[in-house]
Chain A
């Protein structure tokens, strides 16, 4: 057992592009589900739009990296409108099925051979980094200490990711303290009561969907920044993993989703390092190291069930603030 390697890899899970991507996507879900009560099971679709929007606008249209980000955000707003106009009037579980189907349609469109020139089909997209790396203000060299040592490109990704995350979290905090946020929470608790007060519930829900969707696609961009866009990532399991992170931290909180994403990835990093080592050192008998690395996903599922049953409000949540309106 090489504990120093395990701990060092685990520590890296604390601060990685994947962690920040999950935190951003979970913030978007907190907006959708935690505050507005919208059961969005298509967050993987929003993330795919972020990642593909960024990569395609650079590779196919030759945009600069920041233009690519803008294109992604516009695309995610359009997707929210397309999804929201017909579906926001539906009951909760219907919305869940529609959003999951919409995300799956998007994934299949990105995956099909018909658009291979633009989307790269099953190979995904890569090699869109030039513009982003050229804008890197950090000179070459290593930064950080201990397990958190990064080269200048990684630091640039991390800093940008952190800034984005901080802005989004702060924005969500402000929004939820504003009168707008109170109406949104009111809609979650009792839609009809808010409607009776003369508020346009549909417009509020749509705004919430758009804001959360923008957070989600920013998450997708951060996920795509360091390496490549792979269509195998944006499956429904990704949606469920983000949901797990959200419910772990606390759905109706601002810092819960961030905390949940960090715990999720630290645990994932720990388990993916420790389980194969337990096998190779003979502590876990009768299973192969491939089987050992499957165990962590089984644990995610079991964890999600236990969370929803025993602590639906999550770590930071308040039991009085209903996260599951019946």
Chain B
């Protein structure tokens, strides 16, 4: 759990660290009997040894305590980070590392924290090395952890919200459940990568440009594909399957161009700033949240007060009536596609910073969460989608305190199913929409 605060953005150094620890274990075993280690109880028949290192650098003066079966002994690590504690019986012992004696800013990051149980092996000894790395101390209270998760959840939820309101608007005005929305998310991230990474434009130029290009793609998709299909009179299910085909084609097209690996946007590794409790965010995280909020407020203003925004809501309510009262439905739908694609593109850029990294199927990874958000809020309602996205974001992050982190999306998907059963119109939807 203690790992959770540093998990994002640190995969690579964790791998490095693992390598270092494996090396340390090997050498720790080899030199266990040498006199280098600071030793206690060398006359006892069994021993527990270890080596305390952080990224290959030995840590001296770290206090280690071994206890079990009524026996307690302690020592501090020597200049090579090594320690040796003899024990009287071939039994289980608890090894604890006093984190107060570690240098500032680093901590034991393995599961179970600074207190680990060991069992003396057949050889009469056991090696216990702690996984140490940049991180928060174990003293983080549950309350602080929950607060931290809530902050990350809000960040994730706002990012999802940007994508969800677009999907919801498209659904509201055209009835299409657009599976290719995931690829519009990826498109934004890949465009930003192309402009900011490969063409080396400054990031404050690359991101707005990526959003504009995403919007243009939305316009192109509407006039090149969706409007002709609407004119052709394709049914909603047919349109949905066309969007699935488009999603597959575009997703593999991305793989064709960027390959199967992960690439990083500039500034993804900006340092974390400790805010309060266990919460630390990078400048990018904070900027991402502020940007999402500003854009969403701007979007809400657009939807509520402008002529086009009102027309959009009118079409969502009743397209025939809207057309009959003189609204140019095609024009509004075109604008909706541009706005939806632009928002999705921005959300993709933020998702690339949140994950972190751009990947050909990054949009598809969160597509169902976006659908969950839209459904939860009420299909076709923009603000419902936003609310749904925040709930999904919070749920995903907070639930990872309780359930394994590789199952954290399951909670959101279960909620998606449950909400369709008990309140299919969603939180803000109206009942007759389900018809």
Whether A associates with B in a native complex is: yes
B375 within 8 Å of A by Cβ? yes
B56 within 8 Å of A by Cβ? no
B410 within 8 Å of A by Cβ? yes
- Interface centre among B235, B244, B250, B255, by most chain A C-beta atoms within 10 angstroms, is B244
Count contacts between A and B, CB distance < 8 Å.
Answer: 134
B191 within 8 Å of A by Cβ? no
B420 and A240 contacting across the interface, CB-CB below 8 Å: no
Smallest Cβ-Cβ distance to A288: which chain B residue: B259
B421 and A109 contacting across the interface, CB-CB below 8 Å: no
B414 within 8 Å of A by Cβ? yes
B100 within 8 Å of A by Cβ? no
B406 and A113 contacting across the interface, CB-CB below 8 Å: yes
A304 within 8 Å of B by Cβ? yes
A252 to chain B, nearest CB (A): 13
A108 and B407 contacting across the interface, CB-CB below 8 Å: yes
Residues on the B chain within 8 Å of A295, using CB: 252, 256
B245 and A87 contacting across the interface, CB-CB below 8 Å: no
B416 and A305 contacting across the interface, CB-CB below 8 Å: no
Q: 6 shortest A-B CB distances, which residue pairs? A: A301-B249, A301-B248, A304-B245, A305-B245, A297-B252, A326-B235
B106 within 8 Å of A by Cβ? no
Residues on the A chain within 8 Å of B295, using CB: none
B241 and A243 contacting across the interface, CB-CB below 8 Å: yes
CA–CA, A22 and B32, complex, Å: 57
Residues on the A chain within 8 Å of B245, using CB: 240, 244, 301-308
Q: Which residues of B contact A (CB under 8 A)?
A: 177, 229, 232, 234-238, 240-242, 244-253, 255-256, 259-260, 364, 368, 371-372, 375, 404, 406-407, 409-410, 413-414, 416-417, 420-421, 424, 434-435
Besides the known contacts A90-B424, A101-B371, A105-B413, 16 further A-B residue pairs in the complex with CB atoms under 8 A apart: A91-B435, A93-B237, A93-B240, A94-B375, A97-B177, A101-B372, A101-B417, A102-B413, A247-B241, A304-B244, A305-B242, A305-B246, A309-B238, A324-B237, A326-B235, A326-B236
CA–CA, A111 and B410, complex, Å: 12
CA–CA, A308 and B238, complex, Å: 6
User: Contact check: which of B232, B237, B241, B368 meets A104 at CB < 8 Å?
Assistant: B368
B416 and A324 contacting across the interface, CB-CB below 8 Å: no
- Interface centre among B232, B237, B364, B372, by most chain A C-beta atoms within 10 angstroms, is B237
A304 and B241 contacting across the interface, CB-CB below 8 Å: yes
Residues on the A chain within 8 Å of B424, using CB: 90, 94
A109 and B410 contacting across the interface, CB-CB below 8 Å: yes
A96 and B240 contacting across the interface, CB-CB below 8 Å: yes
B240 and A301 contacting across the interface, CB-CB below 8 Å: no
A298 and B232 contacting across the interface, CB-CB below 8 Å: no
Smallest Cβ-Cβ distance to A97: which chain B residue: B371
A92 within 8 Å of B by Cβ? yes
CB-defined A-B contacts under 8 Å, sample of 15: A91-B435, A93-B236, A94-B375, A98-B416, A101-B416, A104-B409, A108-B406, A111-B406, A291-B256, A295-B252, A297-B255, A298-B256, A305-B245, A308-B238, A324-B237
A131 within 8 Å of B by Cβ? no
CA–CA, A274 and B253, complex, Å: 19
CA–CA, A94 and B425, complex, Å: 11
A98 and B420 contacting across the interface, CB-CB below 8 Å: yes
Residues on the A chain within 8 Å of B247, using CB: 301
B259 and A290 contacting across the interface, CB-CB below 8 Å: yes
- Dominant SS among interface residues on chain A: helix
User: Contact check: which of B234, B244, B248 meets A309 at CB < 8 Å?
Assistant: B234
A97 and B375 contacting across the interface, CB-CB below 8 Å: yes
Residues on the B chain within 8 Å of A236, using CB: 364
Q: Tally A residues with Cβ within 8 Å of B.
A: 50
Supposing A91-B434, A295-B256, A309-B234 touch, asked if A237 and B414 sit within 8 A by C-beta, the answer is: no
User: Contact check: which of A90, A91, A96, A300 meets B248 at CB < 8 Å?
Assistant: A300
A112 within 8 Å of B by Cβ? yes
Smallest Cβ-Cβ distance to B414: which chain A residue: A105
Q: Which residues of A contact B (CB under 8 A)?
A: 39, 86-87, 90-94, 96-98, 100-102, 104-105, 108-109, 111-114, 236-237, 240, 243-244, 247, 287, 290-291, 294-295, 297-309, 312, 324-326
CA–CA, A108 and B404, complex, Å: 11
Smallest Cβ-Cβ distance to B364: which chain A residue: A236
B256 and A294 contacting across the interface, CB-CB below 8 Å: yes
A324 and B244 contacting across the interface, CB-CB below 8 Å: no
CA–CA, A87 and B424, complex, Å: 10
Smallest Cβ-Cβ distance to A326: which chain B residue: B235
Residues on the A chain within 8 Å of B364, using CB: 236
Supposing A96-B240, A243-B241, A304-B245 touch, asked if A112 and B434 sit within 8 A by C-beta, the answer is: no
Smallest Cβ-Cβ distance to B375: which chain A residue: A97
A312 and B421 contacting across the interface, CB-CB below 8 Å: no
A98 and B417 contacting across the interface, CB-CB below 8 Å: yes
Residues on the B chain within 8 Å of A91, using CB: 434-435
Residues on the A chain within 8 Å of B255, using CB: 294, 297
B226 to chain A, nearest CB (A): 11
A305 and B249 contacting across the interface, CB-CB below 8 Å: yes
Smallest Cβ-Cβ distance to B408: which chain A residue: A108
Residues on the A chain within 8 Å of B241, using CB: 243, 247, 304, 308
Residues on the B chain within 8 Å of A308, using CB: 234, 238, 241-242, 245
CA–CA, A113 and B241, complex, Å: 33
A97 and B238 contacting across the interface, CB-CB below 8 Å: no
Smallest Cβ-Cβ distance to B257: which chain A residue: A291
A94 and B368 contacting across the interface, CB-CB below 8 Å: no
Residues on the B chain within 8 Å of A98, using CB: 416-417, 420
A301 to chain B, nearest CB (A): 3
A162 to chain B, nearest CB (A): 29
A302 and B249 contacting across the interface, CB-CB below 8 Å: yes
Smallest Cβ-Cβ distance to A94: which chain B residue: B420
Residues on the A chain within 8 Å of B414, using CB: 105
CA–CA, A312 and B435, complex, Å: 26
CA–CA, A50 and B368, complex, Å: 23
CA–CA, A201 and B252, complex, Å: 40
CA–CA, A314 and B78, complex, Å: 75
A94 to chain B, nearest CB (A): 6
A102 and B244 contacting across the interface, CB-CB below 8 Å: no
Residues on the B chain within 8 Å of A306, using CB: 245
CA–CA, A244 and B241, complex, Å: 9
B407 and A114 contacting across the interface, CB-CB below 8 Å: yes
User: Contact check: which of A87, A114, A290, A324 meets B238 at CB < 8 Å?
Assistant: A324
Residues on the B chain within 8 Å of A114, using CB: 404, 406-407
Residues on the B chain within 8 Å of A237, using CB: 248
Smallest Cβ-Cβ distance to A322: which chain B residue: B235
